[in-house]
Amino acid sequence: MNPIEKRTWGSLLSDPIPGRGVKPRDTGWTVISDHGLSINEAKDLCDMAGEYIERVKFPFATTVVLKERIVREKLSIYTSNSMEANLGGTCTEIAMYQGVYTRFLDRAVDLGFTAIEISDGTIDMSDDARRQAVEMASRKGFKVYTEVGKKDVDKQLPLAEMIRQVKRDVSYDIVGVTIESRGSASGIGVYEKDGSVKVDDVDAIVSAVDPRKLIWEAPTKSGQEFFITYLGNNVNLANVRPAEVISCECLRRGLRSDTLRTVSIPAVETLS
């Protein structure tokens, strides 16, 4: 939707939590994962919520099983609506361990991708290989995002190692680093098995690097509510489900009870 289009309420109603602004945003990004939207669904999503989405990830290796025509058309839809698009980190990991990373980057350029995510959520990668991967992608013209954390609940990184890796990645030429949570946000990264957030871990990570470089995977409403309430409505959030972008944006703006209740609102005594 074009930001200058007429709004339902005009200027009559405003955001209880102000400060969101419009794209392009330096922070406050919403990143979604397109697990297999159709062409028409992608178009409808852009019409409904495109102004609230900064980046679209084709997660894991979905592009391997998709027709090239579909991938190219969806990329065109997203980029024409001022959204970056990147391949999932798992797809990049597969290219690395199969020994075709350079050709993979060239093909991604040809397809029209403008960003790359580099991770080692499943494979193991040395610091030197990580640095080389970032540098090679940057030389190809990609905006580089990294992801820190393991996808296996039994192989979670100790907090000190997570912070070390986050600081390492931020020292590279990257746009931002995502803190892994998978789609479950349960027992992964900064999430407990019951889905609650480890507040002390979040504090430690935020204290270690520029928080504007951090992107928190928050696929659940409770996770989104926590980060918005705790770190502000311009926190960077990823793994937001396409059907919940509007709901997430309402949380950011205090347009849902969950965050409206954080605003100091006097009791209503009379009506006008």
Give per-residue pLDDT as tens, 66-86.
Answer: 999 999 999 999 999 999 999
With a cut of 60, say whether residue 17 has pLDDT above it: yes
Mean pLDDT for the stretch of residues 3-31: 91
Mean pLDDT for the stretch of residues 228-241: 98
pLDDT score at 175: 97
Average pLDDT along the chain? 96
Distance from C-alpha of 91 to C-alpha of 59, rounded to nearest angstrom: 8
Mean pLDDT for the stretch of residues 35-43: 97
How far does the chain reach from its first CA to its final CA, in angstroms? 32
Mean pLDDT for the stretch of residues 3-9: 79
pLDDT score at 3: 53
Using a pLDDT cut of 70, give the percent of the chain over it.
99
Mean pLDDT for the stretch of residues 207-224: 97
Distance from C-alpha of 116 to C-alpha of 252, rounded to nearest angstrom: 27
pLDDT score at 4: 59
Using a pLDDT cut of 90, give the percent of the chain over it.
95
pLDDT score at 7: 87
With a cut of 60, say whether residue 2 has pLDDT above it: no
Encoded tokens for 192: 């407990």
pLDDT score at 1: 47
Encoded tokens for 58: 């084709």
Report, in this order, helix, strand and coil percent for the chain, each rounded to 5: 45, 15, 45
Binning pLDDT at 50, 70 and 90, where does residue 5 land?
confident
pLDDT score at 43: 98
